[in-house]
């Protein structure tokens, strides 16, 4: 298998060798070629460029894309190596150049000047402009100058989606000026404005961009959002799966980040304050919540998960926001549409003791049997005991929660405490079956058969994990006179 001019072109491009790229192009290498036969061979932490016929250094190498040889030709008869081969590369040289960590725009410029096709798409539909939109405005501008199409979709959307998700205001402006649609919808029906107001934390690409987003300043997201709004992006667009609640809107995403200036931009563009209140109540930004309430936000407007603003604030332990919502008329008794959750239950589930105290003042029933979807019915006290919340268990008993009410399986909170004790014993027994554990106890002059049950119930619980404090509270309460 002889090395071709296109192999030479790729070789020099991969290493950022501009002079080598010029030489390969001048010799006749195809600037629009794909790297379909290029693979890279990793052996441990180092790799070497394999010429045709090179001997294998290891029998179990890890293969990745982009080497000048087809591995099967180097290892005839070894079909098991096929498990290490990814799909054959279909990206163009131009796309590979734009992925280069150094000199990407210069490399791409040489290829474009030599006639590279700016609109070549790989098998997923991705083009060089998609790649450039994740790298910066210089590459975007260069490709648009050579006629790249800004409207092409692939699984992550258009180039505008990617630039918006990156918070790259300059690339967004360039793409919009080239005619990109600010209201185009991609997978999950997100528009570029959804992605920008969510600070990039939405969809398949969000994890890939996590490190980059951390370097973005708030003003960069605002500039990106402003550019989209100026171009006619719909500030009220809801994700398709959320048409009923109207909460997963640009306003909802912006409020969820506690970005009060971004919220102000959306308000000025006509966005409804109500769609952001539930999300804002999941933050600690009291000023933002007060702003939305002053703008007339509906305190019963649910978010995309069906939670009201009060449920979210209670779950996050935001006592000041809980108070502001109650003063604004929020109904503490409102249940989730699928049942089983109200603001008080969310506070209990999250061990928010101060919020539970405040909500109890609203006269909510403490012994209600909640049922979420098809799960078992249980009270607040069942939940606190099961989660091991000692202080909260004591508070609920003090407020009047009944430890004898049965859940839908017939068990009381006290039964939960006893069950937890049995589970602790089972874990202890499993540990004691370990010969090394037995040897340690023998050296201490103790027996693994007696240590766990050597004392009364109270003593045993003091010897177990602190997370079982809730069970101890109930067991002690059950032993009191009149209990």
Q: Nearest Cα to 372, choosing from 316, 302, 307, 304?
A: 307
Q: How far apart are CA 337 and CA 333, in angstroms?
A: 12
pLDDT at position 76 is: 46
pLDDT for 421: 52
Q: What pLDDT was estimated at residue 181?
A: 98
pLDDT in tens, the chain (483 residues): 456 788 788 778 777 888 989 999 999 999 988 864 434 433 332 333 333 333 333 333 333 333 334 444 444 444 444 333 334 457 788 988 888 777 689 999 999 999 999 999 988 889 999 999 998 899 999 999 999 999 999 888 999 999 999 999 999 999 999 999 999 998 668 899 999 998 887 755 555 455 555 566 778 999 999 999 999 999 999 886 544 444 589 999 999 999 999 999 999 999 999 999 999 999 999 999 999 999 999 999 998 788 999 999 999 999 999 999 999 999 999 998 887 799 999 999 999 999 999 999 999 999 999 987 777 899 999 999 888 888 999 999 999 999 999 999 898 888 887 765 545 555 555 555 666 555 555 554 555 554 433 333 333 333 344 335 666 666 666 666 655
Query: What pLDDT, on the 0 to 100 scale, is given for residue 207?
Result: 53
Domain boundaries, the chain: 414-479
**How large is the C-alpha radius of gyration of the chain?**
31
- Which pLDDT score is estimated for 409? 87
User: 287 and 260 in contact (C-beta within 8 Å)?
Assistant: yes
Instruction: Enter the pTM of the model.
Output: 0.74
What's the pLDDT at 350? 95
Output the pLDDT for position 124: 81
| Cα–Cα distance, 190 to 400 (Å, whole number) | 48
189 and 240 Cβ atoms separated by less than 8 Å: yes
CA distance 21 to 7: 11
- Please tell me the chain's helix, strand, coil percentages from 3-state DSSP, rounded to the nearest 5: 50, 5, 45
**For the residues of 162-210, what is the DSSP string, one character each?**
HHHHTT-HHHHHHHHHTT--TT---GGG--HHHHHHTTT-SSTTTTTTH
Helix extents (H) in 18-101:
18-26, 71-74, 93-98
């Amino acid at each position: 298998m002889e090395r071709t001019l296109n192999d030479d072109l790729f070789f020099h491009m991969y290493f950022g060798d501009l002079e080598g790229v010029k030489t390969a192009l001048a010799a006749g290498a195809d600037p629009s070629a794909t790297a379909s036969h290029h693979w890279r061979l990793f052996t441990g932490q180092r790799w070497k460029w394999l010429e045709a016929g090179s001997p294998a250094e290891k029998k179990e190498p890890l293969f990745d894309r982009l080497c000048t040889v087809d591995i099967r030709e180097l290892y005839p008869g070894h079909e098991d190596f096929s498990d290490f081969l990814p799909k054959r590369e279909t990206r163009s040289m131009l796309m590979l150049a734009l992925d280069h960590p150094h000199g990407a725009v210069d490399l791409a410029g040489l290829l474009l000047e030599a006639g590279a096709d700016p609109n070549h798409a790989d098998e997923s539909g991705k083009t060089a402009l998609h790649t450039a939109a994740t790298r910066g405005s210089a590459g975007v501008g260069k490709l648009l100058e050579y006629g790249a199409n800004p409207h092409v979709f692939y699984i992550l959307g258009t180039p505008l989606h990617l630039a918006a998700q990156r918070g790259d205001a300059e690339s967004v402006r360039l793409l919009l000026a080239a005619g990109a649609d600010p209201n185009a919808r991609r997978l999950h029906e997100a528009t570029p404005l959804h992605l920008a107001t969510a600070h990039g934390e939405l969809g398949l690409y969000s994890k890939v961009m996590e490190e980059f987003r951390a370097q973005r300043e708030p003003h960069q997201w605002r500039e990106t959002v402003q550019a989209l709004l100026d171009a006619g992006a719909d500030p009220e667009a809801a994700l398709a799966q959320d048409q009923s609640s109207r909460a997963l809107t640009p306003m909802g995403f912006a409020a969820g980040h506690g970005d009060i200036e971004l919220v102000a931009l959306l308000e000025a563009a006509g966005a409804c304050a109500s769609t952001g209140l539930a999300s804002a109540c999941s933050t600690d930004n009291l000023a933002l919540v007060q702003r939305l309430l002053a703008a007339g936000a509906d305190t019963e407007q649910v978010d995309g998960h069906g939670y009201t603003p009060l449920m979210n604030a209670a779950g996050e332990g935001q006592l000041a926001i809980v108070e502001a919502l109650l003063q604004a008329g929020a109904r503490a008794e409102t249940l989730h549409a699928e049942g089983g959750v109200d603001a008080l239950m969310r506070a209990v589930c999250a061990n928010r003791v101060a919020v539970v105290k405040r909500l109890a003042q609203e006269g909510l029933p403490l012994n209600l049997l909640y049922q979420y979807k098809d799960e078992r019915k249980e009270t607040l006290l069942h939940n606190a005991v099961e989660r091991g919340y000692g202080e909260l268990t004591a508070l609920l008993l003090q407020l009047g929660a009944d430890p004898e009410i049965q859940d839908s399986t017939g068990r009381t909170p006290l039964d939960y405490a006893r069950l937890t004790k049995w589970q602790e014993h089972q874990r202890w027994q499993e540990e004691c079956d370990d010969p090394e554990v037995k040897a340690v106890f023998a050296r201490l002059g103790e027996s693994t058969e007696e240590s766990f049950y050597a004392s009364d119930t109270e003593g045993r619980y003091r010897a177990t994990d602190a997370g079982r404090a809730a069970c101890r509270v109930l067991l002690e309460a059950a032993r009191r006179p009149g209990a």
